[in-house]
Amino acid sequence: MAEFRLPGTRCEPVTLYGNPVLRQPARPVTVFDRSVRKLVDDLFRTMREIETGVGLAANQIGRHEAVFVFDCGGDNVGCVVNPRIELLGEDLEPGGEGCLSLPGVTLLTERHSRARVTGADLDGTPLSIEASGLLARCFQHETHHLEGRLYIDLHPAEVRDAVDADLRSSEWYGTAAIDPRSPVYLRAQQQDRFS
């Protein structure tokens, strides 16, 4: 699998569907140093290059650390290191959900409407954030990434098979990672085939 990056860029390529790193559980962070801060900076810089991005996990830029960032608007911005998700209540909420590693695929996906993420901040200080709505969805989505799971796994086999067939026919399929500002990625993001 090749990687595609535009020259002279600081934005990290986004790991694409089919790359095995997306199915591997992340490794816990044990040392909180400059490398964690750089990873968080790289995640934010990459996520913000993509118009639809509200969260990004480390394995989505080919890294193995258990870290994700989020920006769901307002004060709902941050990062979580070594996240664990706790689903709160029984209420499920359907919502359109996509993934920056599966460009152009949005599926109506049910998630718990409330969730709590626990983990640590950049300095290793424990944190706990209770959320609802989009932020709760984001926490569930990104934590699942770090467990080696994708949102399409929440759907029946026939939906997963249709998405898999569609993505395998994409012009980018077989590329390990791609710059999210590239014409190929931008075209894929604009071709929402399932919503």
Catalytic residues: 142
Query: Measured between alpha carbons, how far is residue 176 from residues 2, 18, 62 in Å?
Result: 5, 7, 9
Give, for 24, the enclosing helix (H) or strand (E): none
Query: Measured between alpha carbons, how far is residue 61 from residues 12, 33, 100, 163, 166 in Å?
Result: 6, 19, 10, 21, 22
Are 65 and 39 a contacting pair, CB within 8 Å?
A: yes
Tokens of 80: 């979580």
Are 3 and 13 a contacting pair, CB within 8 Å?
A: yes
Query: Measured between alpha carbons, how far is residue 106 from residues 87, 97, 111, 124, 149 in Å?
Result: 23, 5, 14, 34, 16
DSSP state of 133: H
